[in-house]
């Protein structure tokens, strides 16, 4: 199974990815996690990524496309993968389609988790207190939501037009949302 999770920051993508990974045994590819690891290790990529992440801005498409291009060729992706946080722009989605078409592969499901902005703000500020992520402060959160609406939400219609979008109501308990995803992709 090859699937994409699209949703706003704080929308529960990471939490639901864990469930899908368990159920389907596919690789979980979170670009945010990969970038945070690079920042921690202090690699060149990490140094470059940090300034974008701290402002809540997206990294340039070519950088992130290069990272994903390599990652999806790894052995653990043979059974499929779940992309969490990629693509986030139309050029990234086009690049993914190009990469997959070379091997005749397609995306089975695009799962769109929808959550209202005021609820996201509440969740992200709560997470900021608990986890201390450097991009979870009020100013950066506001910018991440703006960037989501401007640059990422056009992907919803992009995939809707392709016919493989599954809309999921992301309000409610984790289990409720997991249940909705389960019935949408069965």
**Minimum CB distance to ligand AMP smaller for 59 or for 111:** 59
Q: 59 or 181, CB closer to ligand AMP?
A: 59
Residue 76: both structure tokens together = 């653990």
The question of whether 13 is a catalytic residue gets the answer yes
Which of 58, 120, 165, 177 is close enough to bind ligand AMP by CB under 6 A?
A: 58
Does residue 52 interact with ligand AMP by CB under 6 A? yes
Residue 89, both tokens: 């722009």
Residue 158 interacting with ligand AMP (CB under 6 A): no
| Residue 144 contacts ligand AMP per CB under 6 A | yes
Q: Say which residues have a Cβ less than 8 Å from residue 2's Cβ, sequence separation at least 6.
A: 26, 80, 81, 82, 100, 105, 106, 107, 108
Cα of first residue to Cα of last residue in the chain, in angstroms, is: 12
88 is catalytic: yes
Binding segment for ligand AMP (CB under 6 A), chosen from 85-93, 99-107, 116-124, 160-168, is 85-93
How many residues make contact with ligand AMP (CB under 6 A)?
Answer: 17
Nearest residue (CB) to ligand AMP, 32 versus 170: 32
In sequence order, the β-bridge partners of residue 84 are 5, 30
Catalytic residue among 2, 13, 36, 180: 13
Q: Contact, 167 vs 115, CB < 8 A?
A: no
User: Are 68 and 31 spatial neighbours (Cβ–Cβ below 8 Å)?
Assistant: yes
Cα 8 to Cα 84: distance, rounded to the nearest angstrom: 11
If binding is defined by CB under 6 A, does position 53 make contact with ligand AMP? yes
Known catalytic residue: 36?
Answer: no
Binds ligand AMP by CB under 6 A, chosen from 5, 35, 72, 110: 35
3-class DSSP state of 14: helix
The yes-or-no answer on residue 127 being catalytic is yes
Q: Residue 170 and residue 34: Cα distance in Å, rounded? A: 24
- The residues annotated as belonging to the active site are 13, 88, 127, 133, 144
Interacting residue ranges for ligand AMP, rule: CB under 6 A = 9, 31-32, 35, 52-53, 56-59, 64, 85-86, 88, 92, 135, 144
């Amino acid at each position: 199974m090859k699937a994409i999770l699209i949703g706003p920051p704080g929308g529960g993508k990471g939490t639901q990815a864990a469930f899908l990974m368990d159920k389907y045994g596919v690789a979980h590819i979170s670009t945010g996690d990969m970038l945070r690891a690079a920042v921690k290790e202090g690699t060149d990529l990490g140094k470059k990524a940090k300034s974008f992440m701290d402002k809540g801005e997206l990294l340039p498409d070519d950088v992130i496309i290069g990272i994903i291009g390599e990652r999806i060729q790894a052995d653990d992706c043979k059974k499929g993968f779940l992309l969490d946080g990629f693509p986030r722009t139309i050029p990234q989605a086009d690049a993914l389609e190009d990469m997959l078409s070379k091997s005749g592969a397609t995306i089975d499901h695009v799962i769109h988790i929808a959550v209202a902005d005021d609820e996201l703000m509440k969740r992200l500020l709560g997470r900021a207190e608990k986890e201390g992520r450097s991009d979870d402060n009020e100013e950066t959160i506001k910018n991440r939501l703006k960037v989501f609406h401007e640059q990422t939400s056009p992907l919803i219609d992009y995939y809707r037009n392709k016919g493989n979008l599954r809309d999921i109501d992301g309000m409610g308990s984790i289990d409720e949302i997991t249940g909705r995803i389960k019935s949408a992709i069965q």
